[in-house]
Amino acid sequence: MTSTLHAAAARFLLPLFVAFACGPAAAQALPDLGGRKVVAVTENAFPPLNMLDPKTGKSVGWEYDCFNEVARRLHLVVDWRVSSWDVMIESIRSGQFDVGMDGISVTDERRTQVDFSAPYMRSTLLMLTRADEARFRDAASFRANARLLAGAQPGTTSFYATSRELLGTPSTSARIRLFDTFGASVQALHAGDVDVVLSDPTGASANMARAPGAFKVVGAPLPGEDYAFILKKGSPLKAPIDAALAAMAKDGTLERLNKKWLPPLPAAAKQDPANPSVRRGLQ
């Protein structure tokens, strides 16, 4: 998942698609970084990309598996840390951590603060509502009813899309209720404190599976973005990480991670013929 940061937050999700194109680097031998220690940070609050396993208490998820495999191929030693979303980009920018991940969307604004790896996923945003919601069926009907409220995590792609795409209002709109985490916004939706949360297909599917019969997706998917790792400007790790991701895309590793971690795409996302990059269905 700072005010200019994030967003599985957009960070709010559908099963995301690997939008990374294999280039010449995939055919070359990967560099051996000689056991260099890399401090990697995530939030542990954006399932299924990163989270605590409720049974074991261990940190797990798509991004953990992906970066651990990147590290194995490059001969890196990973020191995993946890940070809140609101300070993650600044922590990477200042060099406190080497690499960050949290379903972070690639945007021009963030490029002024950090470098991005090659993308490893593409996400669209879906309107997640309670299963019994009947007052609106799409963004237009939601916008037309001034009594309806949206939940969002500040600084995320979902937050900005809620104001821009869903409401067509400034981000200070009184119709947007703010929450510290994506999970808290979904809890508020379930409790009836807000009426919609924008999520990527992965997040939407995960919450629908976790609470059968509690949620549904309505309307057409809203525009999506790529997800990538973030690194300090000029980091020498970028080229090796990009090469490892290219190799993992080429040999099917990223697809195997998708099958392991990403739940089926919600029906509403499947019906979007204009978005062929989305394969399965949260930020």
Q: What is the pLDDT of residues 119-139, one digit of tens each?
A: 998 878 999 999 999 999 999
**Contact between 1 and 102 (Cβ < 8 Å):** yes
Q: Residues for the chain: how many in total?
A: 283
Is the model more confident about 60 or about 171? 60
The neighbour count for residue 132, using CB atoms within 10 Å, is 8
Kindly state the average pLDDT of the residues 206-230: 90
Domain membership of residue 65 (yes or no) is: yes
Same domain flag for 196 and 239:
no
Same domain flag for 234 and 258:
yes
DSSP symbol at 14 = B
CATH number, domain at 262? 3.40.190.10
| Cα–Cα distance for residue pair 5/153, rounded to 1 Å | 11
Residue 115 identity: D
For 149, the domain range is 123-224
Residue 273 has pLDDT above 90, yes or no: no
Instruction: Give ∠ CA 238-241-246 in degrees, rounded to 5.
Output: 120
Predicted confidence band at 266 (pLDDT cuts at 50, 70, 90)?
A: low
Domain count along the chain: 2
Same domain flag for 229 and 216:
no
